[in-house]
Structure 1
Amino acid sequence: MTETQPRTTVETTAVLFDMDGTLVDSTAVVERTWHSFAVRHGLDVRRILAVSHGRRTGETVAEFAPVGVDVDAETRRLVRQEVTDTDGVVAVPGARELLTSLPAESWAVVTSAGRALATARMAVAGLPMPPVVVTAEDVTVGKPSPEGYLAAAERLGADPARSVVFEDAEAGLLAARACGALTVVVGGCSAPVARGLHRIPDLRGVRAVHTVGGVSLSF
């Protein structure tokens, strides 16, 4: 019989979520998309997948595209492919229950996806979209920059240092820590930045209670 792990309870004024890998499991689509890009340009898809998660599509294209490739055109092509390819996109366990338990004014999505892609994936996964969504188009620099998380906290009228971020990828974890938020790793990220952080396998064990000062989260 294994000993039950003690639960952590924190008070927060804003709950900020990454999307892919945190709220939505889009692994199959992401792998298909980058595989097609790699085949088209004679690249090693394993190298691309090792660094693409949590980053804006255009930044990954710019890093790996061979000389002479139109980065903007290639990025638009990949984004169109991702928006229309929704086969296998599902909610991360516990995501729907957690999001519907949160007051709309207390949470936001901060994603490296564009707005059209974020809207499509959240809808296919059956998840609600909050009033505050910060996407790839809304920032000048993507994750690991904290710009997106800082913008979301500001739009919610919250102190970033009193916010909680749920993230699954190295770039996003770096961004969350840089903005000063309490950071929770969702899933099995083994990057050095994840060491010492709170960790949960998925969102099924997270509970939210609306309080006078914001939200009490336990996980």
Structure 2
Amino acid sequence: MGGAVNVREIRAVLFDMDGTLVDSDAVVDRSWSTWGTEYGVPVAEVLAVAHGNPAAATIAQLRPDLSAAERVAANARVLQLEVDDVSDVVPTAGALELIATLERIGVPWAIYTSAPAQLAKVRLDAAGIAPSVLVTIDDVSHGKPDPEGYLRAAELLSVPIADCLVVEDTPVGLAAGKASGATTAGVKGIPADIRLPDLHRLVQLFTE
């Protein structure tokens, strides 16, 4: 596993948040299911697109009939549902060990998430993760799959994007990582330069 990629040549790691560093899948499912019920969209359709995409893009796709003001209200509603529900938000398997390993060996890391800053901070606090660099959907003009956020994170770390590893768990996020020019790693079976069963494997790759 890991192919021809030598992670020892990686100078920085750029993480997605939800589903990659933070296990919030159940919260996302609950919040968006409630939103779908309230907005008349079948739950299966909602959950098929909610993970990894910016909320505004998800709402625009699911309810294109809403006016601009109604979309703002719909976005605010799902944000409130998610902020209020962090009861079972925890780090993903291997996340804390990987962060500790990167800090021990001197590899800087950052997070780029499709979540707004308010939600990102709530979930990261719940998971006990404190990044020195956090880029959210509030900081970019174009969300995933556009690479802007990952390019911004690399810039803030002062590391060329070609020397960075993007770690993602969704196709839309992986597309952003690939478009940025970074090496990519995928959990949950998504195809990437490095395929990971979980983040424990990345710890092994950085230390073996």
TM-score for the superposition, normalised by structure 1:
0.85
- Structure 1 Cα separation of the partners of residues 174 and 195 of structure 2: 12
Question: Is contact 2:147-2:177 (8 Å) kept?
Answer: yes
Aligned residue for 1:16, secondary structure, equals strand
Offset of residue 218 of structure 1? 5.4
Structure 2 partner of 1:110: 112
Offset of residue 203 of structure 1? 0.7
Q: Kindly indicate which of the two structures has a greater share of residues assigned to strand.
A: 1
Letter in 1 for 2:22: V
Letter in 1 for 2:18: D
Which consecutive aligned stretches of 4+ in structure 1 deviate over 3 angstroms post-superposition? 5-9
Structure 2 partner of 1:211: none
Q: Does 1:206 align with 2:202?
A: yes
Aligned residue for 2:145, secondary structure, equals coil
Letter in 1 for 2:45: R
Offset of residue 125 of structure 1? 1.4
* Structure 1 residues 106 and 35: alpha-carbon distance in aligned structure 2, compared to 1, 3 A threshold: same
Aligned residue for 1:166, secondary structure, equals strand
Q: Does 1:126 align with 2:128?
A: yes
1:53-72 matches, within 5 Å, as: 53-65=51-63, 67-68=65-66, 70-72=70-72
- Structure 2 Cα separation of the partners of residues 6 and 155 of structure 1: 27
1:12-161 matches, within 5 Å, as: 12-65=10-63, 67-68=65-66, 70-103=70-103, 106-127=108-129, 129-161=130-162
Gaps of 5+ in 1: 209-215
Question: Is contact 1:9-1:218 (8 Å) kept?
Answer: no
- Deviations 1:146-171 (CA, angstroms, capped at 9, x unpaired): 00000001111111111101100011
- Structure 2 Cα separation of the partners of residues 6 and 117 of structure 1: 32
Question: Is contact 1:105-1:156 (8 Å) kept?
Answer: no
- Structure 2 Cα separation of the partners of residues 68 and 23 of structure 1: 33
- Deviations 1:106-127 (CA, angstroms, capped at 9, x unpaired): 1100100111111111111122
Question: Is contact 1:22-1:92 (8 Å) kept?
Answer: yes
- Structure 1 Cα separation of the partners of residues 54 and 2 of structure 2: 36
Offset of residue 205 of structure 1? 2.3
- Structure 1 Cα separation of the partners of residues 23 and 189 of structure 2: 13
Offset of residue 63 of structure 1? 1.4
Aligned residue for 1:19, secondary structure, equals coil
Aligned residue for 2:118, secondary structure, equals helix
Structure 2 partner of 1:217: 206
* Structure 1 residues 207 and 79: alpha-carbon distance in aligned structure 2, compared to 1, 3 A threshold: same
* Structure 1 residues 143 and 218: alpha-carbon distance in aligned structure 2, compared to 1, 3 A threshold: farther
Counting matched residue pairs gives 202
Instruction: Let me know the Cα RMSD of the aligned residues.
Output: 2.1
* Structure 1 residues 159 and 62: alpha-carbon distance in aligned structure 2, compared to 1, 3 A threshold: same
Q: Kindly indicate which of the two structures has a greater share of residues assigned to helix.
A: 2
Question: Identity of paired residues, percent?
Answer: 43
* Structure 1 residues 152 and 146: alpha-carbon distance in aligned structure 2, compared to 1, 3 A threshold: same
Question: Is contact 2:97-2:203 (8 Å) kept?
Answer: no
Gaps of 5+ in 2: none
